[in-house]
Structure 1
Amino acid sequence: MQIDLLVRASLLASVGAVALAAAPAFAAEQDAPAAADAPAAEGTGNSGLTEIVVTATKRETNLQKTPISISVMGAETIKERKVQSLLDLADGGVPSLRVATFEARQSALTIGIRGIVPLDANQPAREQGVGVYIDGVYLGRQHGLNTGLFDIERVEVLKGPQGTLFGRNTEGGALSLISKMPTGEFGGSIDGGVGNIGSRNAAIHLNLPKFAGFSIKLDGVYQHQDAITKNPLAGQAGWGYFNRKGFRAAVRWQPVEGVTNDFSYDVARDENTPFYSQLLNYNPNNCLSGGTNAAPIAIPAGSTCVTPGTAFTGTQGTIKALPPGVVINGDTLMRTADIGVPQQNSVDKTHGFTNVLKWKVSPELELRSITAWRGVNVEQYDNSGGYHRVPVVNYTSACAGANCAFSRYSLADLHQNQFSQELQAVGTIGSVDYVAGLYYFNEHVSDDAATPNSMGITYVSPTSATFAPIPFCAATNPSTADDFVGNAVRGCNIDRASEVRSKSYAAYGQLTWNASEQLHITVGGRYTRDEKQGALLVSRNIDYRNPANAAILQRNGYTPLDKVWTRFNPMATVAYDFNNDVHGYVKYSTGYRAGGASSRTSDYRAFNPEDVKNYEVGLKADLFNRHARINIAAYMMDRKGSQVDLSTIQPTATGNFNNLVTFNAPGTTKIRGVEADLTVKPTEGLKIDLSYAYTYTDIPAVPVTYSEFTSAGVATGNSTTVLQKFYIVYTPRNAASAAIDYEFPEIFGGARPKFHIDANYSQATQSFDQFATKADESFIVNARLSLLDIGLGGGSNKLNVGLWSRNLFNNQLVYRRDPSNSLPSVQSTQASGVPNVVVIGNNSNILGDYGNFNMPRTFGIDASLKF
């Protein structure tokens, strides 16, 4: 409550002070002339900062007059920051936007805005909390998001719930990518570059002349980087490698005035390996060893060997000694792994067809149709942890000649196809601007996963061992011959396989009444009906489709997913133009994330949607004859039904196992924040950008009950209830970014030297929602020195060249830290002499924290020939 009042008071005071101070001073100012190509303008005009056009309200509007907190990254900024894929935005260039890999994989990205960051949206029946759009088309999965970007005109980051115009799964906001469309005039560019770590990239962007009303644009991209961490095992891929290829064709048809039809097709292939997960420390909490059948060892007072959300009074189990050859390094990224393991490239394939038809029926009405088919196919081969993942090997003489197994190889396949159709009516009648629409979305997703051990260790002496691959996936499970099994897991004992079909129907509308030249009142609403039908196909090597296993499924409590959810998401905004350059607004908006079921559980545990309400106030101002621009927003978001994940023991008919249960946390999750963006252009060639985001999050403690089961999965009647604290991942309390661009006077008859540098900071934050353990704070600096518009032979052809570096100072930090191997776990079987295992922790798998370092310094040279 105190934080709510503080945010309200500071926000109102700031907005009021700036508005009152700015209104008299700028009442007489005239609008600066807008650039001819306003949508791509980023403030480099000679007269000051130019207009930026966005489409956040389904129509083209001036960024400064749009009552939404938005950050825009245009084509020039994308080039300056060397952003080749969405993962390159992980450095924090937009402080409210957080991008991270799922686990260590490059093939699936976790994207969050304003503290809405799902931990495990990797599952087919689980949704993201931030909507990702490409040219107005929603992308249903986080898989394949890291393919190479094509020719992007701008990236719009819409902050806060967008449930009215954009729909479900946009609780935190929306990330919208807008591609450059055909121009109808011959021209384009050929780009290429090389850098360290064996990196190289090339692209061609070609516009063909307009013919018979048709304009065509072709884009091809290629991006490559060698492995960052070498694999000592001969013939196996290293870690951090990628090789991306993509092609896009866009056709614009304008048969008559007022009608425009844009069709595009894109296809991409991304071969990649995960980032290396290295051992950061050894038994950092000084947990104590005890025999498995010995009396429990009491946990000393003040010990940090305490697992969150448990009530352990003691522990059992022997902490494993560190085997020879395993290296501990929590300070720097290992460029060569300590132990080589089997590893091959994961493969992501994406494709899409999009058709956007716009018909300007009259000055008051434009009709639009957005039709899209998209899909993604993933074969995942993730052996990022090597020795450092469970199971931890008990390296003793018992491994002499035994080749004791370790190195969990996470194999998975995912296949997704989606179809969407949206109809829109956009226009203005008198003083009212309106948007109305109908939306339909249909998605089918299937996946499978297996986790065989791929390496063995053989005891030679207490200080010496040998390592060798072991046979795995030997086709021991008959169900693996079925059609649903993908290439990655074929022949393996399957941990899980599932499929889900989702349909979403929506109708929405939004009206803005321009009550006067200064006052604008907007109201809107969206009705959504979501349907989901899903099923487990295999769980822990049990075929759930086989009638012979019906008794096992009943004992496991299995229920297929068959749910329908409906929501109405309203919004209301009051915006006021204090003058031509100062604009303020207050806003109420809502959103929700659809429910689903966890395929990581043996009962396909279902969970419900989560809902968020947002109260926001903002101010946007152009100052000093548009040589300075400041945008400020403060908000309070309340989320109910937060979907959180708990790692716990689940009993089944075939034994107990540790899994990840997703459920809706009771109570209200509070998210509070302030966002500020300042752009200053004091002179013709100098531009300075400053951005800051403060984000406070709190999920109320959740009562979690641990029930005791025998090793056969039979309940003993004993249980323990504790309060579990959960955290929102990858959400720093404070984050900031700064950039300086300076364009020098022309040289060599028109060539323009330009310098860019940006620095990005974020406070340390959690990587897992059930552990308070944080990764490292981040400070990353990127830089570029360019020579632009070099004339070639006196014609219109121009050459741009640049020297660039990302992470210029080679700051090495752990962006993901996993403490699950450094704390006691809940025991899955009864221990001798212990009547209630839920109060006695198991230390037998304790090794240490393991995690992932950020990208090291990269640098290179690139060139672009424009024609």
Structure 2
Amino acid sequence: MNTLKTALALAVAGVSVAANAQLEEVIVTAQKKSESLQDAPIAISAFTAENLEQIGATSAVDVGEYTPNAWITRSLGSSYNIRVSIRGIGTAEPSLAVDPKVGVYLDGAYIARNAGAVFDVVDLERVEVLRGPQGTLWGKNTTGGAINLVTQQPSGEFGGKVDFTVGNFGSNRAAVTVDTGEAAGLAAKISYVKKVSDGWQDNISDIGEDELGSEDTDAFRLAVRWDITDTLSANYAYDRTDGEATAPATQVGFVDASTDPSVPTIDLGDFSFYGGNLYAGMAEIANDDDRLDKFDLDNMKSEEVEISGHNLTLSWMLGDLEIKSITAYRDYESDQNGLDLDGGNWVKFSAADGTPSPATGFHTVGEKEQDQFSQEFQFLGTALDDRLDYVVGLYYFDEEGREINPWQATFYNAANNINTLFNGNMGAWYEITGESQALYGQATYHFSEAWRLTLGARYTEDEKELILLEEDPGLDQDYSSKEDWSKTTGAATLAYFMNDDVNFYGKVAQGYAAGIYNPGTVGRGVGPANPEPALTPADPEETTSYELGAKSQLADGMVRLNAAVYYNDNENLQQTDFVDGVRRTINSGESETIGAEIDVTALLGEHWMVTANAGYSDSDYDDSSRETEAFKTGAAGVQYDTDTNLGHVTARFDATYMGKVGFSASDPRVHSDARTLFNARLTLSEVEALDGQFRFALWGKNLADEEYIEHGANYGSFTGYTWGTPRTYGLDVAYEF
């Protein structure tokens, strides 16, 4: 955090040296309308295309490092699923039946599952991270916040860009974008990106993939804009991602079972007994202090995904009223051909004759299919001589999902001092359907140039159905359960604009997430399976946030300083953990969260700019068994710009900080320690050649080669962690015409 403190001090102390420089205005759509970042009474981090380039971000995952109180990372055992938490509210569960708590939106359309939410959309115009519940305008499943991805639309002028990246660990990326120009009111933009990587971990097992963390992804996007009349326009976009990747290895952290070599194993598949305790071997390699890059894993195979989406947005202007329609459809398919979570290649021995055979700590395969449709109508306008601006919306959403996810897993039974192998008899076999309807509205009344009052409300109805499939080896028929919920959430904001540069706001906002099913909790063991735990949903999650914020442009527009403090009153947060050897999501009862955030950008003279932010969030649960620690984040950057005879030179250095993170609501031992990462980038741009401009950039991430845990889980008898990527570096070359 010393780097952060230094940057903040520079921002305050050095502003007097600036000369006729001002920060560029940032436009956001966090309130469904275009407005200045500084005028929006929301705690929001906005990253423009230029910002994304400066920090080397190519997806939503990358911006998490630079957002106060946010944690965005890939899920355990996947290269294409993400885990998002903002202000301490989120979920790490990739199940299709478990809703995320931070909504992800692409050009205004909701992406329902964090499964498949990591995909390469080229030409991002802006990424907006909205912190705190967004239950009025953005809807359910935004108790933590929302991420709004906005892509660049066709410009109407012919042009294009070719972008290449070469890096260590066999990392290569190529992107091509072409703007077709406009004809008869029609304009299009076509984009393609190819990403490959060898990964930074090796697998020495003769079975499975050799390169762990490897990736081969193709992404394509077509955007078409049609200005039908002066008042009616249509924007259509199609995106597709095809990828094949092998997940980074899960490294055993510590063993939470007996390591006595004499502890036997019973295979519940055929009730045979074996000797040799695999946990004794796991204990020998367990390591939660050092990052490993070589493994012997006998079930690591590729994950294949196909993701596609359609979005049609119509806009019709009727005087001061805009009528907007957003129609979207998305399809997601995934095949996890093999995932090895037990850290090694283990052997057990028959108690009868000593014959060796493979021993499984935790292996899994999986298939997922999900498709969704949404339709939203928005009515945006002004009234009362522009003193009142409003948005009214109607929203409909439905989805269908199917998952087949059998486990081979061994759990230690302390009562009987025995290991129990569930050979393909655990996991999840289910179909899930969901339907949601909502009516919402928000209006802002300008009492004067100084005072504004915003009121909003949303009424939501949800219905879900879970079908446990007969394919489950523990069931003899399909079992189903259907439940519905409804909720009205509201928000009120009072804003005071002291002058054109400084304003303050006080805000009360509610968030809501519908109840959820736990399809993986079918009771197992000797005898028939018990489906009742899976057919009983967890209760809805609700939160009410009280927030005070300030936004300011100081020193003649050279310093942007935004800050917020908040208090969340939470009820029944849905938290996922391993309970009795089963991964399930349960309600956490009542809890409170307090926190603070600050974000600074300052120009120091003609050439220098510094950025800094910090976040603090601390939760307290009424249930004393749930121990948590305050979550702390920070980031600081220094950037130097100057023009030379060759072109424009930009040099940037960043430091990002994340404090201790807990991965288990019931076991505080499962956590990562605090870490600081250093990144740098040197860019030469605006190099005129071949009737266009070239850009060259040398970059490095995690320059100090910090060893840190990225994610982790308690699997019942042991813990597993994925570790962050080591030092990476490379060269970007881009040509724009």
**TM-score scaled by length of structure 1:** 0.75
Q: Tell me what 2:708 maps to.
A: 813
| CA deviation profile, 1:534-581 (whole Å, cap 9, x unmatched) | 2111475134536xxxxxxxxxxx6x3211111111111100100010
> Is residue 423 of structure 1 aligned with residue 343 of structure 2?
no
Q: 2:169 is aligned with what amino acid?
A: I
| Distance change (3 Å), C-alpha of 1:53 and 1:756 | same
> Is residue 332 of structure 1 aligned with residue 255 of structure 2?
no
Aligned partner (choices 693, 696, 714) of residue 618 of structure 2: 696
SS of the residue corresponding to residue 221 of structure 2 reads: strand
| CA deviation profile, 1:382-431 (whole Å, cap 9, x unmatched) | 42424459xx8667987843224225321111111111000011011121
Q: 2:547 is aligned with what amino acid?
A: E
Q: Tell me what 2:549 maps to.
A: 618
> Is residue 676 of structure 1 aligned with residue 598 of structure 2?
yes
Aligned partner (choices 449, 461, 474) of residue 542 of structure 1: 474
When structure 1 is superposed on structure 2, of 375-384 and 593-602 the one drifting more is: 375-384
Q: Tell me what 1:563 maps to.
A: 483
> Is residue 851 of structure 1 aligned with residue 721 of structure 2?
yes
- Structure 2 Cα separation of the partners of residues 273 and 321 of structure 1: 25
Quote how far apart the aligned CAs of 1:608 are. 1.5
SS of the residue corresponding to residue 681 of structure 1 reads: strand
Are 2:60 and 2:127, in contact at CA under 8 Å, matched by a contact in 1? no
Gaps of 5+ in 1: 1-20, 22-43, 294-316, 455-471, 474-491, 547-557, 650-657, 702-722, 822-844
> Is residue 344 of structure 1 aligned with residue 301 of structure 2?
yes
> Is residue 72 of structure 1 aligned with residue 28 of structure 2?
no
> Is residue 275 of structure 1 aligned with residue 198 of structure 2?
no
Larger radius of gyration: 1
Q: Tell me what 1:633 maps to.
A: 564
Quote how far apart the aligned CAs of 1:593 are. 1.0
| Distance change (3 Å), C-alpha of 1:529 and 1:453 | closer
> Is residue 500 of structure 1 aligned with residue 432 of structure 2?
yes
Aligned residues between the structures: 685
- Structure 2 Cα separation of the partners of residues 84 and 100 of structure 1: 14
| Distance change (3 Å), C-alpha of 1:644 and 1:282 | closer
> Is residue 250 of structure 1 aligned with residue 223 of structure 2?
yes
Quote how far apart the aligned CAs of 1:236 are. 2.7
Q: 2:661 is aligned with what amino acid?
A: T
Q: Tell me what 1:724 maps to.
A: 625
When structure 1 is superposed on structure 2, of 600-609 and 244-253 the one drifting more is: 600-609
When structure 1 is superposed on structure 2, of 797-806 and 326-335 the one drifting more is: 326-335
Aligned partner (choices 146, 165, 172) of residue 144 of structure 2: 172
Quote how far apart the aligned CAs of 1:149 are. 2.9
Quote how far apart the aligned CAs of 1:328 are. 4.3
| Distance change (3 Å), C-alpha of 1:324 and 1:76 | closer
| Distance change (3 Å), C-alpha of 1:538 and 1:173 | same
Aligned partner (choices 652, 656, 666) of residue 760 of structure 1: 656
Quote how far apart the aligned CAs of 1:291 are. 8.1
SS of the residue corresponding to residue 360 of structure 2 reads: strand
| Distance change (3 Å), C-alpha of 1:340 and 1:765 | closer
Q: 1:741 is aligned with what amino acid?
A: Q
> Is residue 366 of structure 1 aligned with residue 322 of structure 2?
yes
Are 1:277 and 1:388, in contact at CA under 8 Å, matched by a contact in 2? no
SS of the residue corresponding to residue 127 of structure 1 reads: coil
Are 2:207 and 2:298, in contact at CA under 8 Å, matched by a contact in 1? no
Q: Tell me what 1:743 maps to.
A: 641
Aligned partner (choices 355, 367, 371) of residue 312 of structure 2: 355
- Structure 2 Cα separation of the partners of residues 190 and 254 of structure 1: 27
- Structure 1 Cα separation of the partners of residues 546 and 730 of structure 2: 45
Quote how far apart the aligned CAs of 1:289 are. 5.8
SS of the residue corresponding to residue 105 of structure 1 reads: coil
- Structure 2 Cα separation of the partners of residues 732 and 816 of structure 1: 17
Q: 1:634 is aligned with what amino acid?
A: V
Gaps of 5+ in 2: 1-11, 13-17, 265-274, 411-421, 523-531
Q: Tell me what 2:28 maps to.
A: 54
Q: Tell me what 1:63 maps to.
A: 37
SS of the residue corresponding to residue 50 of structure 2 reads: helix
- Structure 2 Cα separation of the partners of residues 851 and 388 of structure 1: 14
- Map of 1:298-309 to 2, 5 A cutoff? none
SS of the residue corresponding to residue 61 of structure 2 reads: helix
Q: Tell me what 2:735 maps to.
A: 865
| Distance change (3 Å), C-alpha of 1:673 and 1:292 | same
Are 2:263 and 2:277, in contact at CA under 8 Å, matched by a contact in 1? no
- Structure 1 Cα separation of the partners of residues 174 and 735 of structure 2: 12
- Map of 1:170-569 to 2, 5 A cutoff? 170-234=142-206, 236-237=208-209, 238-281=211-254, 322-323=280-281, 327-337=285-295, 339-362=296-319, 364-387=320-343, 400-406=354-360, 408-429=362-383, 430=385, 431-452=387-408, 495-538=427-470, 541-545=473-477, 560-569=480-489
- Structure 1 Cα separation of the partners of residues 656 and 351 of structure 2: 50
Q: 2:95 is aligned with what amino acid?
A: Q
Q: 1:675 is aligned with what amino acid?
A: E
- Structure 2 Cα separation of the partners of residues 615 and 53 of structure 1: 25
- Structure 2 Cα separation of the partners of residues 398 and 820 of structure 1: 30
- Structure 2 Cα separation of the partners of residues 63 and 106 of structure 1: 32
Q: 1:351 is aligned with what amino acid?
A: S
Q: Tell me what 2:694 maps to.
A: 799
SS of the residue corresponding to residue 477 of structure 2 reads: coil
| CA deviation profile, 1:804-860 (whole Å, cap 9, x unmatched) | 111111101122344556xxxxxxxxxxxxxxxxxxxxxxx5xx6432210111111
When structure 1 is superposed on structure 2, of 637-646 and 213-222 the one drifting more is: 637-646
Quote how far apart the aligned CAs of 1:757 are. 1.4
When structure 1 is superposed on structure 2, of 341-350 and 563-572 the one drifting more is: 341-350
- Structure 2 Cα separation of the partners of residues 153 and 791 of structure 1: 24
Are 1:494 and 1:539, in contact at CA under 8 Å, matched by a contact in 2? no
- Map of 1:79-98 to 2, 5 A cutoff? 79-90=53-64, 92-98=65-71
- Structure 1 Cα separation of the partners of residues 61 and 483 of structure 2: 34
Q: Tell me what 2:674 maps to.
A: 777
Quote how far apart the aligned CAs of 1:699 are. 2.1
Q: Percent identity?
A: 29
Q: 2:574 is aligned with what amino acid?
A: Q
Quote how far apart the aligned CAs of 1:224 are. 1.1
- Structure 2 Cα separation of the partners of residues 665 and 73 of structure 1: 34
SS of the residue corresponding to residue 128 of structure 1 reads: coil
SS of the residue corresponding to residue 125 of structure 1 reads: coil
Quote how far apart the aligned CAs of 1:770 are. 1.4
Quote how far apart the aligned CAs of 1:659 are. 1.9
Quote how far apart the aligned CAs of 1:244 are. 1.3
- Structure 1 Cα separation of the partners of residues 573 and 219 of structure 2: 37
> Is residue 162 of structure 1 aligned with residue 94 of structure 2?
no
Q: 1:524 is aligned with what amino acid?
A: G
Quote how far apart the aligned CAs of 1:609 are. 0.7
- Structure 1 Cα separation of the partners of residues 375 and 214 of structure 2: 36
SS of the residue corresponding to residue 600 of structure 1 reads: helix
SS of the residue corresponding to residue 596 of structure 1 reads: coil
- Structure 2 Cα separation of the partners of residues 72 and 784 of structure 1: 20
- Structure 2 Cα separation of the partners of residues 288 and 246 of structure 1: 47
- Structure 1 Cα separation of the partners of residues 239 and 672 of structure 2: 37
Quote how far apart the aligned CAs of 1:147 are. 1.7
SS of the residue corresponding to residue 65 of structure 1 reads: coil
When structure 1 is superposed on structure 2, of 635-644 and 611-620 the one drifting more is: 635-644
Looking at secondary structure, tell me which structure has more strand per residue.
2
| CA deviation profile, 1:16-52 (whole Å, cap 9, x unmatched) | xxxxx9xxxxxxxxxxxxxxxxxxxxxx997311111
Are 1:346 and 1:378, in contact at CA under 8 Å, matched by a contact in 2? yes
- Structure 2 Cα separation of the partners of residues 45 and 820 of structure 1: 58
Are 1:496 and 1:538, in contact at CA under 8 Å, matched by a contact in 2? no
| Distance change (3 Å), C-alpha of 1:539 and 1:292 | farther
